[in-house]
Homo-oligomer: A and B are copies of this chain.
């Protein structure tokens, strides 16, 4: 699936509700899902893990829709390798 396709289907599905809830409440939901992702990592349930990655990605995309950010444009920075050093694999100084 193209990133733009995902953004478009999520816009059709949720943008009206997201706008009603508002940007900051939508950010709160995304953060709630990040917490659920943390729990899925901790428990090790594979099915739940895939589910929660999907939820975080969906809420991030909903937030992008609300703030008029094109996620393809956002992702493009990473399309050819590391945006900092330009290489793939990255050769930046390691950061723990």
Contact = CB atoms under 8 A, between A and B. Distances in A.
A67 B88 contact: no
Q: How large is the interface on A (under 10, 10 to 19, 20 to 34, 35 or more residues)?
A: 35 or more
Interface string A52-69: 011011101001100101
The A interface, classified by DSSP as helix, strand, loop or mixed, is helix
Interface string A26-56: 0100110010001001000000011101101
Given A2-B2, A51-B77, A57-B75, A67 B41 contact: yes
Given A1-B72, A9-B80, A17-B89, 9 more contacts: A12-B81, A13-B88, A13-B90, A14-B82, A27-B38, A53-B63, A53-B71, A53-B74, A57-B75
